[in-house]
Structure 1
Amino acid sequence: MQVNPSFRLAYVPGVTPGKWVRVWSERLPDVRLDLLAVPAGDGEGTLREGTADAGLVRLPVDRDVLSAIPLYAETTVVVFPKDHWLAAAEEVALGDLAEEVVFHPLDDTLGWPGELPGRPAIERPASTADAIELVAANVGVLLVPQSLARLHHRKDLTFRPVAEAPQSQVALAWPEDRTTELVEEFIGIVRGRTVNSSRGRGAQPAAEPQKAAAPRKSQPQKGGQQKSGQQKSGQQKSGQQKGGQQKGRPKPAAGGRGAAAAKRGKPKRRS
């Protein structure tokens, strides 16, 4: 019995692959797409182990092993209790956090190039979810991509954008040595290619150009030939009659009315 192929797509928290999954189901209805939710720090390892064919992960990844196409960068926000003094601002600067305890969870996705702003916590939370619980307890604040702030939304918390903070970039990644037709198909979907421009198995074969039909030669109708012959014979007779009349008529004298009319010609139109 032939088993239909399947495609395994991993994705990290905060990434929503729904729009691409819908296009996949429309374009390749015979290929099952299996979604695999993985922790933020496990995206690259999942692809290395071959547990998934491709993944929506956060950069950076090892480019010597994985191919990656950056898709978008997320706005970084600071999460804090609703009654916090930061709630009065529309946008927060890093300097505003100088006296705040800023959590740095072990699954942090921002990749700070230097020291974190604010005061460090006594210990790092194990996960972003644990850090959110500490923020709700009014122990400190948390800097995360906006999608993670929405994912861990609570009624007693809110967030504001932080323009100066580094941003997390989401990418489509896959093992470089396993770039299959199905991977190419998903690449085409996330890049917005149409069915005909896709390189994967969903691409429609190009239609062969049709040869133009040779124009038909129109065959003259017999009745038309007879009519044409009758017209010609009638014209000949008419010519003979005119010729006979011309013989009997005297030629007009030079310089007469006929010559004057010929010289005048048609009157010119005034401009």
Structure 2
Amino acid sequence: MTGSEESPSFRLAYVPGVTPAKWVRIWNERLPDIALTLVQVPAAEAPEVLRAGEADAGFVRLPVDRTYFSAIPLYTETTVVVVPKDHLITAADEVTLADLAEEVLFHPLDDVFDWDSPPGEPAFERPATTPDAIELVAANVGLLLVPQSLARLYHRKDLTYRPVTDAPQSSIALSWPEEATTGLVEDFIGIVRGRTVNSTRGRVKSPAEQQKQQRSEPKRAEPKGTRQKPAAASTGRNPRARTAGGSARTAGAKQTPKRGKPRRRS
């Protein structure tokens, strides 16, 4: 450091299968002076990365510890089974867990599903990672259940997938440590929620920012007919009484019969 303050930046973690490009593009358009750094992390390690302050916020897979993290659920993915292209399962548009009961199913150590009882026949070993399991499926050793985004991420020409209608599903959320809710985190929340630049639901602006915004906003003209007339100057008399009195005199004058010209005697 040379006496100048460090330039502000925002670190965004994301797990495999999430594509943050759309939100990053909007960030760069709205906050071009604040660099956004992407940090890809395994799904199981994402909470610890946020706890350690290695990222300001992240796209993670639920569940997370809600006593420590804030989370905004975004979407839930379809679960699919990855199979070789010549597998019998490809004859169907979708399958159930019962259809996979006699198949060897891999459950890698980084499996994103919390299985009470893993379906299918157990493999001879658990692959270390999902990409390792994909390689075994390509070798026609067994099948693999994953969120659809991971099936697309690790796509191979010799593999395909089918939706599994009754399998557990994985949900993606934007999450961050609740006690570390900074202004930049609020800015990113607004982007993810689709708020506009001038939305009042964004983060709370500082007094200096508010004054700058007020100076830049044009003054609104008052609608016609809404401006009040100035009050009458006080002269010790009641204007209404004077008007009322004048009206009474006028009314009295109207009630007095007019005197006509005297008739000439014949």
Same fold by TM-score greater than 0.5 = yes
Instruction: Decide which structure has the larger Cα Rg and report it.
Output: 1
Answer whether contact 2:70 2:178 (CA < 8 A) is retained: yes
Instruction: Give unpaired runs (5+ residues) of structure 2.
Output: 226-266
Deviations 1:44-88 (A, max 9, x none): 110000000000000011111111110000000000100111111
Match of 1:13 in 2: 16
| Residue 96 of structure 2 is aligned to residue 93 of structure 1 | yes
| Residue 70 of structure 2 is aligned to residue 72 of structure 1 | no
Distance, in Å, in 1 between the alignment partners of 2:114 and 2:219 is 54
Q: Residue type of the partner of 2:197?
A: V
Q: Select the residue among 60, 63, 75 that pairs with 2:63.
A: 60
Q: Residue type of the partner of 2:18?
A: V
Match of 1:150 in 2: 152
Q: Residue type of the partner of 1:84?
A: H
Match of 2:181 in 1: 179
Q: Select the residue among 122, 128, 131 that pairs with 1:129.
A: 131
Q: Residue type of the partner of 1:195?
A: V
Match of 2:253 in 1: none
Match of 2:28 in 1: 25
Alignment of 1:249-260 (within 5 A): none
Answer whether contact 1:181 1:199 (CA < 8 A) is retained: no
Question: CA RMSD for the aligned pairs?
Answer: 2.0
Answer whether contact 2:195 2:202 (CA < 8 A) is retained: no
Distance, in Å, in 1 between the alignment partners of 2:204 and 2:27 is 12
Q: Select the residue among 111, 115, 123 that pairs with 2:117.
A: 115
Structure 1 residue 214, shift from structure 2 partner:
9.5
Match of 1:188 in 2: 190
Structure 1 residue 39, shift from structure 2 partner:
1.2
Deviations 1:80-105 (A, max 9, x none): 10011111110011111011001111
Distance, in Å, in 2 between the alignment partners of 1:5 and 1:188 is 18
Partner of 2:82, secondary structure, is strand
Distance, in Å, in 2 between the alignment partners of 1:5 and 1:137 is 48
Distance 1:5 1:201, change over 3 A: farther
Distance, in Å, in 1 between the alignment partners of 2:20 and 2:72 is 15
Deviations 1:157-191 (A, max 9, x none): 00000110111000000011000000001011111
Runs of 4+ in 1 over 2 A off after TM superposition: 1-4, 200-215
After TM superposition, the score normalised by the length of structure 2 is: 0.76
Answer whether contact 1:80 1:142 (CA < 8 A) is retained: yes
Match of 1:168 in 2: 170
Q: Residue type of the partner of 1:148?
A: L
Would you say how many aligned residue pairs link Structure 1 and Structure 2? Answer: 214
